Amino acid sequence: MTKNLNIEFEKAVRLLAEHLPVSDETTRKPVLFHDIRVGVFLYEKNYSPDIVLAGLLHDALEFSEISEETLSKEFGETVLQLVLASTKDASITDKNESTNELIMRCTSNGQNALIVKIADIIDSFKFYSSENNTDQLKYCMRNANAILEYKPDSFDDKIFDELKVWQNRFSNLSE
């Protein structure tokens, strides 16, 4: 990857560190570390700079006061659109409806948006399995099932196969 991506990655980490809430023992999942892992996962898999940065910033709008304008200005409109696609609609309270709407929105925004969401879910699978958190693993399964159900046949990336491995591992937890 380029030196420029490394500089942008660091800039995004600094922005998140300034604006995300501080995690403690009562935190469901430390968000900053999760966001960094998602970005690094995509970086190490050699995804495009926009996908890597969107993966790193995917929780910025949902869990901080960082604005859409700031994301667009600092990282470009493409990164903003990928982050928006991965941001939950807080007005939808039914968990199944919320998941389906989010995944369909990612899908309608293209394969890159779905790749960002899958990287988020894979990291969540890893974290919650290490914590033996069955409730959150069910959340991961709900997302994985929706992704693989709504994914167009034309979307073809190795990350879908990795998601299937996690889905199969926890298939006993489907709701």
Query: What domains lie within the chain, and their CATH numbers?
Result: 3-173 (1.10.3210.10)
Q: For the chain, first and last CA: distance in Å?
A: 40
Query: CA distances (Å), 11 to each of 4, 131, 171, in order?
Result: 10, 30, 38
Determine if the pTM surpasses 0.85: yes
Task: Check: CB of residue 53 under 8 Å from CB of residue 39.
Answer: yes
Each residue's pLDDT tens digit, 82-132: 999 999 999 999 999 999 999 999 999 999 999 999 999 999 999 999 999
Each residue's pLDDT tens digit, 18-54: 999 998 888 889 999 999 999 999 999 999 999 999 9
